[in-house]
Structure 1
Amino acid sequence: MSVVWLQVGQCGNQIGEEWWQAITQARSRDAEPSPFCSLDGKLSTLCVDSEPKVVRRLQKRVQRGSFRESNLIMGKQGRGNNWAFGYHGVRSEGEQSLLHRTMESLRKEAERRDCYGGTVLFHSLSGGTGAGLSSRLCEAIREEFPLGHILAVSVAPHQAGESPLQHYNALLCLSWLQRYTDGILLFQNDETLKHVASLQGKADPAKGGPQVSFSAMNAHLASCLAGLLYPLKIFTAQSGVSMGREPWELLRATCPVPALKFLHTAQASTRGRVSWDSLASLVTQSIPRKSLSEHPHCSSGLLAVARGPQEDSFLVGCASVLRRLKQAYRCVPWNPFPATYWTDPASLTALGHDSHALTVCANHSGSADLLRRVEQRARLMYKSNAFLHWFWRHGCEAGDFEQAFETLRSVTEDYSRLGG
């Protein structure tokens, strides 16, 4: 029981809402102790936002009494979609700041765990709170708990634009994540939107198809997280108690090079009888094959998680499935064990109790395309001094930008050399 969950900002709490609805529903059917709870039955999660609306809605929609009231940390003033405002906060608040209150609650929640292993963070790259405050929290958590892991679940905004400051926000947040976290499960709104529309039988909304709700997109992200992080029997003690090691074992399996920590996740599911080879083919359809410069993408490591009542059939044919995945993800030749797999009979997909899901998480160089795009667009704005006064007024400095540019440039170069 080693994880403290931290959801920050509107996006982070909306993902958390879908995640905890799935978890609490499963928990009500399961008599075994839950790794998501403290001994008093409260969820080991902190819900943080600079405005109360989203957190209060989450509190109402998730099973009553699940949250510890002191872990619902809300402000009264938004952060203006500004990383600097979210990072530095309101100077006059002092010990009443969101940062101070969150760290106090996180320390207490860590003390309630049998053995604190780390924090899983849900947030967005674009919002003032989700990007700025999350960056500051990662920094503070690393300083307070240097031996604990930090796994970020990060959502990138639509390319078309949600805010004129989003490229600056994403640039600075990605730089902080690279510096202070151990791994980043990176989800892109455009990719998620297209996938959910396909699942619902709709045309691509980007090409004029019907709109897909944010709730549906967040539910898909929660399903992917459940595929990877919901307790597995292989990490459960003989007493039936899960130790909550899944996030940290995920990092071990997918991050053989500590400096390369951006993870791509894909999932396919079905009801009734299952063909794992077919699910593997569906998963690989969403993989970006080539970079913006037409350079083939590759992966340093991947983890496949097969869930469902017919998990034994995966074990029978796992060699074929893993071979297909390694070829599609173009696993690097220098890693002697590039692919790991887990199986479990428990599946939390929305398809029902007889559903099967294959979730694949890979350290894939396709993530560098997003980093490169963010760096290039932010640099163009920076050179023309666009909107920079909004960052200077809240304590940001030119050095923060220069360091962020260099960090993203270095990571994209490292990914470009990944295959050879």
Structure 2
Amino acid sequence: MTCWRHLPIHQGSSDSWHRRAMSAVWLQVGQCGNQIGQEWWQIIANQGEADASPFGSLDGRLSAICVDSEPKVVRRLQKQIRRKAFRESNLIVGKAGRGNNWAYGYHGSKGERDLFSQTMESLRKEVERKDCYCGTVLLHSLSGGTGAGLSSRLCEAIREEYPLGRILSVSVAPHQSGEGSLQPYNALLCLSWLQRFADGVLLFQNDEVLKRATSLQPKEGDNAYGQVSFSAMNAYIASCLAGLFYPLKVFTTRSGISLGQEPWELLRSVCPMPTLKFLHTAQSSTCGSVHWDRLASSVVQPLPRESPDGNPHCSTALLAMARGPQEHSFLLNPDSVLRRLKQAYRCVPWNPFPTTYWTDPSSGLVAPVGRHHHTLTVCANHSSAADFIQRVAHGAHAMYESRAFLHWYRRHGCEDGHFGEAFETLRSVVEDYHHLGD
């Protein structure tokens, strides 16, 4: 068990820290990435300018780049967040979609301005605006042509251009029932690229997000739950990001300026093996008085406990983030909550320190007037990711064996070798996760 609450922090002068722009560049790609980004930046905007400091540049603009092959979602995001929060040159849009095709998104269209080159140029400028660039947080889906294809190419290029920076992907997987005929190919290729070039992947599966968002809906009469919108699902994902990345007191200076290290300390805590990087995230919250044991039980209740063939899941490591004004009640007995989480996530015996916890008096969420909001967010390197990866690989392989739709990918430069390498990459990931408990 590791606690970062009392770690010493280098203290500079107040003025020096006020002049610095810290840590991460936020890169939102495709419709899904920008919709989640809209919910995320709304949370940050609601907290005031002081708490937004690690997410911006010295001129007050957000360190965010919003990219899509169509302008609709990016323009809506620009209107929803406070005026002039985004740098106009960082709003990069095309005129037509990418046909739900990974290869089209990866290689782009010769008939219009190159989204990839524009994005890399904006990223370069954002990096140069920072005194301390530590990495890029990439928000995107696994299914769309832009979200999967262009994100893959950007991830590869960022790794090459900035090898010392970290890359954390926030990836949204489509519903298992399917959202498009090319979905298995897109997810296969994107997952392969993320495994090769990213340092960590916060994997949100739409089916699980839907269940979590549904459980938060108010009960009305005989109808237990109302209709859950995509906006509510995106809001749940954004609240998980706020639970993990909203500024922590332990990572701030005495002057109150955040160092913006939360994403990278997360990776250090939950990715002890660099080849195992797919992370399961869940959150539970309450208003008023808090019982942290109950929040822990709520977090783990829907957790997948075993694979389809009956093998129990396990975790290499987990991080518990407890936020709210009653954080002291968590600190009085953290072992009780951590013991419950460790058992539910089945932490591997070979890791001597599998659990880490952080606490903070601010929830990072807006609570109803007169009430305190408490959240428990858990991020674990959990082997249930292998079930999803294996399902994607099986679906894509069945299509590949029948040669279905391959001509659509070859048209844009994706050959058999790309598929062969992707199948082998994901096979290796699944095998590594299956042997975690050995």
Which bracket does the TM-score occupy, shorter chain normalised?
over 0.9
**2:165 pairs with 1:156:** no
Tell me the CA shift for residue 127 of structure 1.
0.2
Which residue number in structure 2 is paired with residue 53 of structure 1?
72
Q: Which amino acid aligns with 2:134?
A: G
| Cα separation, 2, equivalents of 1:196 and 1:238 | 37
Tell me the CA shift for residue 174 of structure 1.
0.2
**2:215 pairs with 1:198:** yes
Which residue number in structure 2 is paired with residue 304 of structure 1?
320
Deviations 1:354-391 (A, max 9, x none): 10000000000001100000000000000001111110
The 8 Å contact of residues 217 and 226 in structure 2, kept in 1 or not, is answered as: no
Deviations 1:25-69 (A, max 9, x none): 1124x4x67101101000000000001000000000111110000
The 8 Å contact of residues 270 and 351 in structure 1, kept in 2 or not, is answered as: no
Two-structure CA RMSD over aligned residues (Å): 1.5
**2:399 pairs with 1:381:** yes
The 8 Å contact of residues 311 and 344 in structure 1, kept in 2 or not, is answered as: yes
| Cα separation, 1, equivalents of 2:345 and 2:110 | 47
| Cα separation, 2, equivalents of 1:210 and 1:396 | 43
Output aligned runs, 1:384-399, within 5 Å.
Answer: 384-399=402-417
In structure 1, the residue corresponding to 2:53 is in which secondary structure?
Answer: coil
Q: Which amino acid aligns with 1:173?
A: C
| Cα separation, 2, equivalents of 1:243 and 1:99 | 29
| Cα separation, 2, equivalents of 1:418 and 1:359 | 23
Unaligned runs of 5+ in 2: 1-21
Q: 1:173 aligns with which of 166, 190, 200?
A: 190
Which residue number in structure 2 is paired with residue 357 of structure 1?
375
Q: Which amino acid aligns with 1:55?
A: V
Deviations 1:131-184 (A, max 9, x none): 000000000000000000000000000011111000000000000000000000
In structure 2, the residue corresponding to 1:146 is in which secondary structure?
Answer: coil
In structure 1, the residue corresponding to 2:65 is in which secondary structure?
Answer: strand
| Cα separation, 1, equivalents of 2:89 and 2:48 | 22
Is 208-217 or 168-177 further displaced after alignment? 208-217
Q: 1:130 aligns with which of 144, 147, 157?
A: 147
Quickly say closer, same or farther: Cα 1:266–1:326, change in 2 above 3 A: same
Which residue number in structure 2 is paired with residue 6 of structure 1?
27
| Cα separation, 1, equivalents of 2:365 and 2:187 | 30
Which residue number in structure 2 is paired with residue 337 of structure 1?
353
Which residue number in structure 1 is paired with residue 437 of structure 2?
419
Which residue number in structure 1 is paired with residue 83 of structure 2?
64
Quickly say closer, same or farther: Cα 1:257–1:202, change in 2 above 3 A: farther
Q: 1:118 aligns with which of 135, 160, 173?
A: 135
Which residue number in structure 1 is paired with residue 43 of structure 2?
22
Give TM-score scaled by structure 1 length.
0.96
| Cα separation, 2, equivalents of 1:147 and 1:317 | 38
| Cα separation, 1, equivalents of 2:97 and 2:381 | 34
Aligned positions, number = 413
The 8 Å contact of residues 19 and 222 in structure 1, kept in 2 or not, is answered as: yes
Q: Which amino acid aligns with 1:373?
A: R
| Cα separation, 2, equivalents of 1:391 and 1:33 | 41
Tell me the CA shift for residue 243 of structure 1.
1.1
| Cα separation, 1, equivalents of 2:379 and 2:408 | 37
Unaligned runs of 5+ in 1: none
In structure 2, the residue corresponding to 1:78 is in which secondary structure?
Answer: coil
Q: Which amino acid aligns with 1:133?
A: L
In structure 1, the residue corresponding to 2:55 is in which secondary structure?
Answer: coil
Which residue number in structure 1 is paired with residue 56 of structure 2?
37
Tell me the CA shift for residue 211 of structure 1.
3.0
Which residue number in structure 2 is paired with residue 403 of structure 1?
421
The 8 Å contact of residues 45 and 52 in structure 2, kept in 1 or not, is answered as: no
Q: 1:316 aligns with which of 328, 332, 338?
A: 332
Q: 2:240 aligns with which of 224, 229, 243?
A: 224
Quickly say closer, same or farther: Cα 1:33–1:288, change in 2 above 3 A: closer
Which residue number in structure 1 is paired with residue 268 of structure 2?
252
Percent sequence identity over matched residues?
A: 70
Which residue number in structure 1 is paired with residue 229 of structure 2?
213
Tell me the CA shift for residue 199 of structure 1.
1.2
The 8 Å contact of residues 33 and 240 in structure 1, kept in 2 or not, is answered as: no
The 8 Å contact of residues 27 and 34 in structure 1, kept in 2 or not, is answered as: no
In structure 2, the residue corresponding to 1:305 is in which secondary structure?
Answer: strand
| Cα separation, 2, equivalents of 1:84 and 1:201 | 42
Which residue number in structure 2 is paired with residue 107 of structure 1?
124
Tell me the CA shift for residue 209 of structure 1.
7.0
Tell me the CA shift for residue 286 of structure 1.
2.0
Deviations 1:212-267 (A, max 9, x none): 10000000000000000111011111221111100000000000010000000010
In structure 1, the residue corresponding to 2:42 is in which secondary structure?
Answer: helix
Output aligned runs, 1:66-81, within 5 Å.
Answer: 66-81=85-100
The 8 Å contact of residues 3 and 119 in structure 1, kept in 2 or not, is answered as: yes
Deviations 1:67-124 (A, max 9, x none): 000000001111010000000001354xx30000000000000111121000000000
| Cα separation, 1, equivalents of 2:130 and 2:375 | 30
In structure 1, the residue corresponding to 2:204 is in which secondary structure?
Answer: strand
| Cα separation, 2, equivalents of 1:331 and 1:289 | 12
The 8 Å contact of residues 218 and 225 in structure 2, kept in 1 or not, is answered as: no
In structure 2, the residue corresponding to 1:117 is in which secondary structure?
Answer: strand
**2:280 pairs with 1:280:** no
| Cα separation, 1, equivalents of 2:59 and 2:350 | 47
Deviations 1:190-211 (A, max 9, x none): 11111111111469xxxx9753
| Cα separation, 1, equivalents of 2:52 and 2:282 | 29
